[in-house]
Chain A
Amino acid sequence: MMIQYIAILLMLVGIYGLLSQRNVIKMIVSLNIFEIGLNVFIISIGYVKDGVAPILTSVNNSSSLMFVDPLPHALVLTAIVIGVGVTALALALARKMHKKYGTYELDEMGGEA
């Protein structure tokens, strides 16, 4: 139960960071914290009490045992990779902004509104 509370708390911390920070790097970090909270929440949806990891091995060798739900694991794999792609693009944009304006603060960047 606690793990779901902590995951939602992480998401809220990420949203707070996005709303209140104006430094580009801090905004990217807050976005990542939000995504981590989201991914932990998705995994926690699939937990079955006393279930084992969903892999057939020589120890758990039959499909009649109680496994954990494997579908949220597949969803989270995709979500993590998408998060990595967006973070890479955001960091490249941050570097271009620094080169053009000389600062990482959004308020000092002036120019077009």
Chain B
Amino acid sequence: MKQVISIILVLLIGVLIFGALYFSSDESLKFNEYGKVNLADRVSEKYIDKSVNGGSGVVEYQKSEGLESGSANYVTSIIVNYRSFDTLGEVTVLFISAFGVALLLGGKRKRQKNMFEPNFILKHGARLVFGLMVIFGVYMFSHGHLTPGGGFPGGSIIAASILLLYMADNEFRAKMKSLKATEGIAGSLYVIIGLLAVVLGGYFLANFLPTGIVGDLLSGGVIPIVYILIGLKVGSELSGIIDSFVTKEVE
């Protein structure tokens, strides 16, 4: 009985959504169809021209310099520069969920054993792959302003490499104290950079370092520094969550 009611309710909601989005007859305001979007109607046009605070012509790769947001990756410049406050909130979400998981499953912990005993090749091969994965993760978050990726996927790759070590070895435990210290220091540095910007640039989270040439590694002002901090923070938080789940309370 409950399933029938659920299906009817869900079908009603579906009909409502489809009708209002795709079959409405109101001519004054229409939901733009897939693909037929004019960017000039939206705020994104100024983000692409990097001319939010005043025009500066066409942006060229490896040629324009001293722009208001010097990163070549437009999505990065939105996340870390124009809408940096949302990123601060997102970092806080991960922080508070990692803290909550540690509180809920808390207490003195000891490692739960895997279901099988890993053999020699698994144990030592995993350490090789661990090194490669960490290098790849660091590459991803330090080049966040030039290539796709950035702090969040990079941090997740580092956490996945630590998960690999947990799976491949029955006695491995990451050092929780240094993980918590990394997390706390990285988070505080992000907010301190924002407060420094109040002193140096006049507004919270303004970009106060010089922004170089678009496309170089050292460009974008504060952006690479913030992405490195975010990558370290996300990596240590996700590793903390993994550790809370793989261990169990000491009897």
Answer whether A and B touch in the complex at a CB cut-off of 8 Å.
yes
Chain A interface (Cβ < 8 Å from any Cβ of B)? 1, 3-5, 8-9, 12, 15-16, 19-20, 44-49, 53-58, 60-64, 66-67, 69-71, 73-74, 77-78, 81-82, 84-86, 88-89, 91-93, 95-96
**Which chain B residues lie closer than 8 Å to A71 at the CB level?**
42-44, 47, 78
Whether the pair B73, A54 counts as a contact (CB closer than 8 A) is: yes
Task: Return B246 CB to nearest CB of chain A, in Å.
Answer: 12
Contact count A vs B, C-beta below 8 Å: 143
8 Å CB interface, B101-118 against A: 101, 104-105
- Knowing that A56-B59, A63-B58, A63-B60 are A-B contacts, what are 8 other residue pairs whose CB atoms are under 8 Å apart, sorted by A's residue number? A45-B37, A47-B35, A54-B73, A56-B215, A58-B62, A85-B94, A86-B97, A92-B245
Whether the pair A61, B61 counts as a contact (CB closer than 8 A) is: yes
**Which chain A residues lie closer than 8 Å to B191 at the CB level?**
none
Task: Return B184 CB to nearest CB of chain A, in Å.
Answer: 18
Interface of A is mostly: helix
**Which chain A residues lie closer than 8 Å to B9 at the CB level?**
19
**Which chain B residues lie closer than 8 Å to A53 at the CB level?**
148
Interface of B is mostly: helix
**Which chain B residues lie closer than 8 Å to A58 at the CB level?**
61-62
Interface residue tally on B, bucketed by range: 35 or more
Chain B interface (Cβ < 8 Å from any Cβ of A)? 2-3, 5-7, 9-10, 13-14, 17-18, 33-37, 39, 42-44, 47-50, 58-62, 72-75, 78-79, 83, 86-87, 89-90, 93-94, 96-98, 100-101, 104-105, 146-148, 152, 214-215, 241, 244-245
**Which chain B residues lie closer than 8 Å to A46 at the CB level?**
37, 44
Task: Return A97 CB to nearest CB of chain B, in Å.
Answer: 11
Determine the distance from Cα of A5 to Cα of B60 in the docked complex, in whole angstroms.
37
Whether the pair A84, B94 counts as a contact (CB closer than 8 A) is: yes
Whether the pair B72, A57 counts as a contact (CB closer than 8 A) is: yes
Task: Return B160 CB to nearest CB of chain A, in Å.
Answer: 13
Whether the pair B97, A85 counts as a contact (CB closer than 8 A) is: yes
**Which chain A residues lie closer than 8 Å to B74 at the CB level?**
54-56, 67, 70
**Which chain B residues lie closer than 8 Å to A73 at the CB level?**
75, 78
Determine the distance from Cα of A71 to Cα of B89 in the docked complex, in whole angstroms.
17
Task: Return B140 CB to nearest CB of chain A, in Å.
Answer: 14
Determine the distance from Cα of A89 to Cα of B104 in the docked complex, in whole angstroms.
9
Whether the pair A88, B98 counts as a contact (CB closer than 8 A) is: yes
The 4 closest A-B pairs by CB, nearest first: A61-B61, A85-B97, A63-B59, A54-B74
